Amino acid sequence: MFTRRGFLALLGVAATAPLAAVTPRAAVAQEARVPTVGVLVVGAPSWEKFWRIFRDAMRELGYVEGKTVRYEFRSDEGRAERLPALAAELVRLKVDVIVPWFTPAASAAKNATTAIPIVMAGAGDPMGTGLVKSLARPEGNITGTGGLAADLAGKCVELLRKILPSARRIAVLVNAGDPVSQPFLEKVRRAGEAGALAIEPVLIHNAAEIDAAFLTLDSHRPDALIVQPSLPVKHVAELTVKYRLPAAAAFRPFAEEGGLMSYWVSEADQYRRTALIVDRILKGAKPADIPVEQPRKFELVINRKTARALGLTIPRSMLLSADHIIDR
């Protein structure tokens, strides 16, 4: 027989028991809600800079690694053929967003998923490579920041002409496996036509062909060389000095590694804006509603040490307009 006091005590037990059972589950659920950002990079110079700036920008936006955001980082380590498998791995991990650095990584991510949001970091010519249908209205699951690599290659032709006004032939080292190679080469050709220059493409299908390509260039001696930035720029820069070829690339590490000149976007500005877009996605925005952002700031870097080694004099006007001059 139940007493009133016994009945109330039983109610108290019943009321507290579910709380004890539910509390651990709630903690697990809360832990599971920490978003995961998958990062996929091409193993080219400057990926470390991207990774550092991007994480710093996310931290400035209030994300605490391990507490309010997790990262799954993957690099192809210089072997582009690994990108599809790495992108598929991030999809299997069910990350909340994928951030690919450079066009080959972005293409791999696009081929791996149509559901997970993709925020490109510096992908060159997103429309020309078919990554998005429109910059203003990208549709699908992809947005981010573009790199304008093809357009800047044309600018490199103009800058080389200022240093070498008598130039008539410019060779172009093209990464045949890069989706940007065709728009890249087209921009160089247009810039060449505008300056009455003969443009001579040299297709590179794998890294083993680079040394042989320079032997061929040495026998034909073009006046200058344009280098596609997705090639191994450190090795290429060293070869341009060895074979005494004035060369430029739309990629700052090229000049830093010994190439004559580079003209590229401001990485700090671009990668911070990539983080801003990721923040919007994690807060519920849809990639299709976020326009692809194009670069706003650009940097001219001149390696005057290389210029001296090549016996070239850089016009004073160019030195004054350079954002950075390498003297040693």
**In the chain, what is the straight-line distance between the N-terminal and C-terminal CA atoms, in Å?**
96
Asked if the structure places residue 164 within a domain, the reply is yes
Asked if the structure places residue 308 within a domain, the reply is yes
Say how many domains are in the chain. Answer: 2
Asked if the structure places residue 93 within a domain, the reply is yes
Considering the domain architecture, whether residues 114 and 156 belong to the same structural domain is answered as: no
Asked if the structure places residue 27 within a domain, the reply is no
Asked if the structure places residue 26 within a domain, the reply is no
Considering the domain architecture, whether residues 65 and 197 belong to the same structural domain is answered as: no
Asked if the structure places residue 246 within a domain, the reply is yes
246 vs 227: CA distance, rounded Å: 11
185 vs 150: CA distance, rounded Å: 7
Considering the domain architecture, whether residues 155 and 292 belong to the same structural domain is answered as: no
**What is the share, in percent, of the chain residues with pLDDT greater than 90?**
71
**53 closest CA partner among 93, 99, 5:** 99
Query: What is the tens place of the pLDDT at every residue in 64-92?
Result: 999 999 999 999 998 889 999 999 999 99
Query: What is the tens place of the pLDDT at every residue in 258-307?
Result: 999 999 988 899 999 999 999 999 999 999 999 999 888 899 999 999 99
Q: Are 78 and 98 in contact (CB under 8 A)?
A: no
Alpha helices in the chain (DSSP H): 4-32, 47-60, 83-92, 103-112, 149-163, 181-194, 210-220, 233-242, 252-256, 267-282, 304-309, 316-321
Considering the domain architecture, whether residues 321 and 191 belong to the same structural domain is answered as: yes
Asked if the structure places residue 64 within a domain, the reply is yes
Considering the domain architecture, whether residues 206 and 278 belong to the same structural domain is answered as: no
CATH number at 219 reads: 3.40.50.2300
- For residue 310, the enclosing domain spans 150-265+299-326
Considering the domain architecture, whether residues 191 and 231 belong to the same structural domain is answered as: yes
Considering the domain architecture, whether residues 40 and 71 belong to the same structural domain is answered as: yes
Confidence of residue 129 (pLDDT cuts 50, 70, 90): confident
Query: What is the tens place of the pLDDT at every residue in 152-205?
Result: 888 999 999 999 999 999 999 999 988 888 888 999 999 999 989 999 999 999
Considering the domain architecture, whether residues 116 and 200 belong to the same structural domain is answered as: no
Considering the domain architecture, whether residues 130 and 161 belong to the same structural domain is answered as: no
Considering the domain architecture, whether residues 82 and 58 belong to the same structural domain is answered as: yes
298-303 and 261-265 as β-strands: parallel, antiparallel, unpaired?
antiparallel
Considering the domain architecture, whether residues 142 and 164 belong to the same structural domain is answered as: no
Is 80 exceeded by the pLDDT of residue 96?
yes
Is 90 exceeded by the pLDDT of residue 310?
yes
Considering the domain architecture, whether residues 204 and 193 belong to the same structural domain is answered as: yes
CB atoms inside a 10 Å sphere around CB 198: 13
Confidence of residue 32 (pLDDT cuts 50, 70, 90): low
CB atoms inside a 10 Å sphere around CB 34: 14
| The pLDDT of residue 14 | 43
Asked if the structure places residue 40 within a domain, the reply is yes
